[in-house]
Every structure is written in C-alpha cells, then in structure tokens.
A = this chain, B = another copy of it.
Amino acid sequence: MRFDPATLVYDDHGLIPAIAQDHVSGKVLMLAWMNADAVARTLETGRVTYWSRSRQAFWVKGETSGHVQELVEMRVDCDRDCLLILVEQTGPACHTNRRSCFYTGIKDGAETELMAPEV
C-alpha cells in the first residue's frame, strides 16, 4: 500500500509526535513534532524535518547546528498517531550538546544527570 501522510492521525494543531531513535545504538534521542508537510519533506529529502511549535516554521534538524539527522526508516504505530524515526545522528541531538534529550533520570524520587554535554 502506498503511504500517504494525509492518512496519519494529527492532533488539534495538525501535528503528530515523532520519536527519533539512533538506528545503531537504539538510544532514544528526542521527541519532536511533524505536520503532514514535514512528514512528506522528511521522506522526500531524507533529512529529518520537524515542525517547530515555538517558531511555527519547518525545522530541518541540524540546519544551523550541523547536527543533522539522516532518515534511515520511518515507522508508523498501530493507531497511526505517532511516528518512530530511525536516524543516523551527526553529533549531539540535544540543544544542550548532549547525545540525547533524555539525560535526566528519576532515581529514588530525585533527579539525577545521566549524561554530560559533549565537548
């Protein structure tokens, strides 16, 4: 079956959450949002492209930082309301310069830093 981004289920803002996962290590890098056009652009260009909710604009990941995400494979979940994006990540995925945005763990009720920024 041909894939049509219009068949995905978007929220009230026309967005769908997209989980970026490192295709080699399996590390979950970040979650960001796409609209139908961002899904189409990601598939067409092979460069992972989100929709920035704060800037209300396309966000080609790494366009300014150089920390690009090359698309390896896009997956859709059973409810068609979430995407899993397997990526080849150049450098850190997080704006804090950490490999992953999920660098804070909750241990015994306290927050603990799991990962240092890359240098």
How many residues does chain A have at the interface if contact means C-beta atoms less than 8 Å apart? 38
Of the candidates B19, B25, B74, B106, the one whose C-beta lies within 8 Å of that of A3 is B106
A28 at the binding interface (Cβ < 8 Å): yes
Of all chain B residues, which has the CB nearest A42? B106
Q: Is the CB of A31 within 8 A of B43?
A: no
Q: Is the CB of A27 within 8 A of B28?
A: no
Enumerate A1-39 residues with CB–CB distance to B below 8 Å: 1-3, 12, 17, 19, 21, 25-28, 30-31
Enumerate A71-100 residues with CB–CB distance to B below 8 Å: 73-79, 82, 84, 94-96, 98
Residues of B contacting A17 in the complex (Cβ-Cβ under 8 angstroms): 17, 31
What are some 25 contacts across the A-B interface (CB < 8 A)?
Answer: A2-B110, A3-B106, A3-B111, A12-B12, A19-B19, A19-B28, A25-B26, A28-B28, A31-B82, A43-B106, A43-B109, A73-B107, A74-B106, A75-B102, A75-B104, A75-B106, A76-B102, A77-B102, A77-B104, A78-B95, A78-B101, A78-B104, A82-B101, A82-B102, A84-B102
